[in-house]
A and B are shown apart, each in its own frame.
Chain A
Amino acid sequence: MATTHESAAPQALNPDPMFSNPYRIQRVRQETDDTFTLEIVPADSAEGFAFRPGQFNMLYVYGVGEVPISISSDPAASPVLQHTTRVVGTVTKAMRLLARGDMLGIRGPFGTHWPVEDATGRDVVIVAGGIGLAPLRPALYRLMAQREKYRKIVLLYGTRSPEDILYRNELEHWRGKFDLEIQVTVDRAASSWRGNVGVVTTMIPRAPFDPGNTAAFICGPEVMMRFTAMELQRRGVAMQRTYLSMERNMKCGIGLCGHCQYGPVFTCKDGPVFPYDRIAPLLGKAEV
Chain B
Amino acid sequence: MRSLLRRYREPLFVALLLALPFTVFAVKAKQKVALNAADRVVIAVTAPVEKLIVAAVHVGQDAWHDYVALGSVREENFRLRRELVREKAQTTAFAETKAENDRLRNLLEYTDKQGPLRSLVAPVVAVGASPHSHVLRIARGSEEGVHRGMPVVAPDGVVGTIALTTAHYADVQLIVSPTSAVPALNERTRARATVKGTGDQARCKLEYGQRTEEWHDGDLVRTAGTIGFFPQGLPIGRLVNVSKKPTGMFISAEVLPAVDFARLDEVIVVLGPQDAAGNALVNASSVGTAQ
Pair from one complex: no
Q: Which B residues contact A (CB, under 8 angstroms)?
A: none
Q: Which A residues contact B (CB, under 8 angstroms)?
A: none
